[in-house]
């Protein structure tokens, strides 16, 4: 300890910060001891958890363990994966607290993995993870260049480059939005009787927002708008839920397609972040024109606070937009609220939801 303390004192002396008392010296020693490179070292391996999760999902580890605790040998027999490979990733998953391991080396699901990583459950969140190695991480590997130039690797919000990507992607992110969409349906509470309620589902993707709303009330009729490459997926998903007769479809880019008019509700589920401020404002104005008087716009986004100091998911997603769009970003409730008010919307408000951010609602006056 004496040598360690002298080392600190010598370093402080070189900076002209010589501690004048023993208490100061002890404080500096304690502070120095509390700061370690552990977090930086963990960041250096930060790519490991999503890739380990992806490997486990692709080799059905969580699905197999949903039937009960097993040893690695037993999981290997069921999945066909190697014992060596499974041992490595399953032990890592224990360290990450997605699996547990008992004294007999039997592995089991934790409450978190049981809820969100078993592919047969409606709450499955592993769809996004499945895209890490092939779609997400390869683009992020160009981040240094992107930061230097400000130009994305590719613009996934443009039909030419994005249509094929979202054709495969939208079903995998269905569970991410479904609970929030159900919450919105509950909040709107359209009931079972009365005239039809027309819903405009913009960039519908899998159709998740319109599906949840149509499930909540037989009054709901949905118009789903998306690219020609994506709408076949929307149609199939809607049909699988038995709602085909309640949907109509409009092909085209959001900024060119004819939305029609007279809607009581319009949904923008995770769209604005890819568009940039100027196009987002234009889209809000176009949506305003499509709504009936008194109609509601509902926006789901990866929100940040106004100072852009958190939440971390929103800050990370802003970098994702840097990599994958020309002008995309994440915004605060206050910023989007100002755009809505300038467009003519009133009663801008948030409602809590089961998603990562509250939903943002406003009314056409």
Question: Hey, what domains does the chain have and what are their CATH numbers?
Answer: 2-35 (no CATH), 54-130 (1.10.10.10), 159-364 (3.40.50.150)
Per-residue model confidence as pLDDT tens for the chain (365 residues)? 333 333 333 444 344 444 555 565 555 555 556 889 999 988 999 999 999 999 999 999 999 999 999 999 999 999 999 999 999 999 999 999 999 999 999 999 999 999 999 999 988 999 989 999 988 999 999 999 999 999 999 888 765 655 566 666 788 889 889 999 999 999 999 999 999 999 999 999 999 999 999 999 999 999 999 999 999 999 999 999 999 999 999 999 999 999 999 999 999 999 999 999 999 999 999 999 999 999 999 999 999 999 999 999 999 999 999 999 999 999 999 999 999 999 999 999 999 998 789 999 999 98
What pLDDT does residue 22 have? 55
Q: Please tell me the predicted confidence (pLDDT) of residue 135.
A: 87
Provide the whole-model pTM.
Answer: 0.85
pLDDT of residue 138: 94
Residue 170 pLDDT: 84
pLDDT at 57: 97
Tokens 């809590």 identify what position? 352
What per-residue confidence (pLDDT) applies to 24?
A: 57
pLDDT for the residue 173: 86
Q: What pLDDT was estimated at residue 5?
A: 36
Give the pLDDT score at 172: 84
Identify the pLDDT of residue 16: 42
């Amino acid at each position: 300890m004496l040598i360690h303390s002298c080392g600190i004192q010598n370093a402080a002396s070189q900076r002209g910060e010589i501690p004048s008392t023993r208490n100061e010296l002890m404080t500096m020693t304690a502070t120095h001891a509390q700061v370690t490179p552990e977090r930086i070292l963990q960041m250096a391996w930060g790519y490991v958890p999503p890739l380990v999760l992806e490997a486990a999902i692709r080799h059905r580890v969580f699905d197999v363990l949903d039937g009960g605790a097993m040893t690695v040998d037993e999981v290997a027999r069921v999945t066909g994966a190697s014992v060596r490979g499974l041992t490595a990733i399953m032990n890592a998953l224990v360290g990450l607290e997605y699996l547990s391991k008992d004294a007999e080396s039997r592995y089991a699901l934790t409450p978190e993995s049981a809820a969100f990583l078993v592919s047969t459950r409606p709450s499955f969140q592993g769809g996004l993870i499945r895209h890490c190695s092939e779609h997400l991480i390869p683009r992020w590997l160009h981040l240094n260049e992107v930061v230097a130039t400000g130009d994305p690797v590719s613009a996934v919000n443009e039909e030419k480059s994005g249509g094929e990507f979202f054709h495969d992607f939208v079903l995998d992110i269905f569970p991410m939005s479904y609970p929030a969409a159900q919450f919105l349906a509950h909040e709107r509470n359209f009931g079972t009787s009365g005239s039809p309620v027309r819903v405009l589902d913009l960039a519908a993707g899998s159709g998740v927002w319109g599906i949840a709303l149509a499930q909540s009330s037989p009054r709901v009729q949905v118009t789903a708008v998306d690219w020609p490459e994506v709408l076949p997926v929307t149609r199939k998903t809607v049909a699988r839920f038995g709602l085909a007769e309640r949907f109509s479809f409009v092909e085209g880019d959001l900024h060119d397609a004819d939305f029609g008019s007279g809607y009581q509700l319009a949904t923008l589920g995770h769209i604005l972040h890819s568009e940039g401020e100027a196009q987002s404002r234009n889209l809000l104005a176009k949506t305003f024109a499509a709504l009936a008087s008194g109609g509601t716009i509902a926006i789901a986004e990866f929100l940040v606070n106004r100072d852009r100091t958190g939440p971390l998911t929103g800050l990370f997603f802003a970098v994702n937009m840097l990599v994958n769009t020309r002008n995309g970003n994440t915004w605060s409730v206050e910023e989007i609220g100002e755009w809505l008010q300038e467009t003519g919307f009133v009663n801008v408000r948030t409602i809590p939801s089961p998603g990562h951010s509250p939903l943002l609602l406003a009314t056409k006056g």
